[in-house]
């Protein structure tokens, strides 16, 4: 089921929450709405679900306008952040609730509940009450309840935020497995960039109600279109400079650290004031086609799977560098030579 949003605008009081958002979600796509608290992503999810009507704009599903169509007529499954399970009903009864409302026959209802519980690996816990389950198990029940109605669209509102780190990883893998098996068009709201980057087919990043960038996770991370997107998705070393060359082969940015080559950005012309950025894990220990910089280590942090270094370069510029699975550790005061490859440098305006 395709979802299309055209110029969706929403405000609460005098405050705009969504500012003319337009995007298309493909049938079967695992699509993420990502951004900080208050950016409008949950409001947009509620508009897709039919819990709220936009002040302006159109929402369509499968080519049919949904404006004015109530939630119960959209065949949409919803998984809430707080599970929203009936405490007095068993697991199986909670899952069956939507089928009862739809007046599905008892034999068919029992079969579909069993299938849904098996899909989320809860088939042996159907007689338990929600209070007898862990947080992760309750979220699996909520997911089964959304899936059992065979929705055209599955919506998930920060479904893992109440779980600890280990359970988040476990449920993240389960949700991806189920989405791949069912190929239901799925829209997932989160503020966690790791969830979005690891699960999504595409990600829409929002900033203050505006769609800041829409792309595949890898492209967002390696080729962010703005400073906000770059910094929301991870740490960045920034250098200010001026574009001296811009063509199909790439950019050259003149910086206080010397000229930096980067991937093409046709919209940035010579003379443009820009920021050149690169991730800590992109720092290379030794020369690359870009200039090398000499410096010293002034701090290091052990992070289990990596070591993060703070480097003081010769002209006073500081950068962060990350080494995965380090075999040895550099001590403060150690002298280093570092650089960054052109393909690891991204450039944003001003």
Q: What is the pLDDT of residue 211?
A: 98
- Of the residues 161, 189, 222, which one is the last residue of a structural domain? 222
Q: What is the pLDDT of residue 180?
A: 93
Whether residue 42 is found in the same domain as residue 186? yes
Task: Evaluate whether 257 touches 244 at the Cβ level (below 8 Å).
Answer: no
CA 91 to CA 101: how far, in whole Å? 17
Q: Looking at the domain assignment, is residue 93 inside a domain?
A: yes
Task: Evaluate whether 209 touches 18 at the Cβ level (below 8 Å).
Answer: yes
pLDDT at 108 over 80: yes
DSSP state for residue 38 in the 8-state scheme? T
CA 264 to CA 278: how far, in whole Å? 15
Q: What is the pLDDT of residue 305?
A: 86
Whether residue 35 is found in the same domain as residue 172? yes
User: Which tokens hold the place of 63?
Assistant: 């080519």
Whether residue 106 is found in the same domain as residue 139? yes
* Closest by CA position to 298, among listed 336, 327, 326, 255: 336
Whether residue 182 is found in the same domain as residue 242? no
What CATH number corresponds to the domain at position 122?
3.40.50.300
Whether residue 9 is found in the same domain as residue 109? yes
Whether residue 40 is found in the same domain as residue 103? yes
- Of the residues 176, 200, 222, which one is the last residue of a structural domain? 222
Whether residue 323 is found in the same domain as residue 273? yes
Query: What is the phi/psi pair of residue 166, to 5°?
Result: -65, -45
Give residue-wise pLDDT tens across range 207-223: 999 999 999 999 999 99
Which residues fall within 8 angstroms of residue 30, CB to CB, at 6 or more apart?
176, 179, 186, 188, 199, 200, 201
Whether residue 196 is found in the same domain as residue 66? yes
pLDDT tier at 314, thresholds 50, 70, 90: confident
Question: Residues of the chain with pLDDT > 90: what percent?
Answer: 83
Which structural domain, as residue segments, surrounds residue 125? 3-222
262 to each of 206, 243, 292, 343, 344, how far by Cα in Å?
Answer: 26, 10, 15, 6, 7
Whether residue 292 is found in the same domain as residue 211? no
Helix (H) or strand (E) holding 306: strand 306-313
Give residue-wise pLDDT tens across range 115-139: 999 999 999 999 999 999 999 999 9
Q: Looking at the domain assignment, is residue 228 inside a domain?
A: no
CA 159 to CA 139: how far, in whole Å? 7
Q: Looking at the domain assignment, is residue 142 inside a domain?
A: yes
Whether residue 195 is found in the same domain as residue 250? no
Give residue-wise pLDDT tens across range 287-304: 788 889 999 999 999 988
pLDDT tier at 249, thresholds 50, 70, 90: confident
Number of domains in the chain: 2
pLDDT tier at 200, thresholds 50, 70, 90: very high
Q: Looking at the domain assignment, is residue 339 inside a domain?
A: yes
pLDDT tier at 350, thresholds 50, 70, 90: confident
DSSP state for residue 339 in the 8-state scheme? B
pLDDT at 271 over 80: yes
Q: Looking at the domain assignment, is residue 231 inside a domain?
A: no
What CATH number corresponds to the domain at position 308?
2.40.50.140
């Amino acid at each position: 089921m395709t979802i299309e949003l055209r110029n969706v605008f929403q405000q609460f009081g005098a405050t705009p929450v969504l500012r003319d958002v337009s995007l298309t979600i493909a049938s079967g796509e695992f699509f993420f709405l990502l951004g900080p608290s208050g950016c409008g992503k949950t409001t947009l999810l509620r508009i897709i679900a039919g819990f709220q009507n936009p002040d302006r704009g159109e929402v369509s599903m499968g080519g049919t306008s949904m404006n004015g169509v109530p939630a119960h007529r959209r065949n949409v499954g919803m998984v809430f952040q707080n599970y929203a399970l009936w405490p007095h009903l068993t697991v199986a009864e909670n899952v069956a609730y939507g089928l009862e409302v739809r007046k599905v026959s008892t034999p068919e209802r029992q079969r579909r509940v069993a299938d849904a519980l098996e899909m989320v690996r809860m088939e042996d816990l159907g007689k338990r009450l929600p209070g007898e389950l862990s947080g992760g198990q309750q979220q699996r029940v909520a997911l089964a309840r959304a899936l059992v109605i065979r929705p055209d669209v599955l919506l998930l509102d920060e479904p893992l935020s109440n779980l600890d780190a280990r359970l988040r990883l476990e449920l993240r893998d389960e949700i991806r497995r189920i989405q791949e098996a069912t190929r239901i068009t799925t829209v997932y709201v989160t503020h966690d960039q790791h969830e979005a980057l690891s699960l999504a087919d595409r990600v829409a990043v929002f900033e203050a109600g505006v769609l800041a960038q829409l792309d595949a996770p890898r492209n967002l991370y390696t080729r962010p279109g703005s400073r906000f997107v770059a910094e929301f998705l991870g740490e960045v070393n920034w250098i200010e400079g001026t574009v001296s060359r811009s063509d199909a082969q790439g950019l050259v940015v003149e910086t206080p650290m010397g000229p930096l080559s980067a991937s093409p950005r046709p919209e940035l012309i010579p003379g443009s004031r820009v920021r050149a950025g690169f991730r800590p894990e992109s720092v290379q220990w030794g020369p690359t086609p870009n200039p090398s910089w000499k410096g010293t280590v002034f701090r290091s942090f052990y992070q289990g799977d990596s070591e993060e270094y703070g480097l003081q370069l010769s002209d006073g510029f500081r950068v962060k560098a990350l080494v995965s699975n380090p075999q040895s550790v550099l001590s403060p005061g150690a002298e280093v030579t570092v650089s960054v490859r052109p393909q690891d440098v991204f450039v944003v305006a001003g």
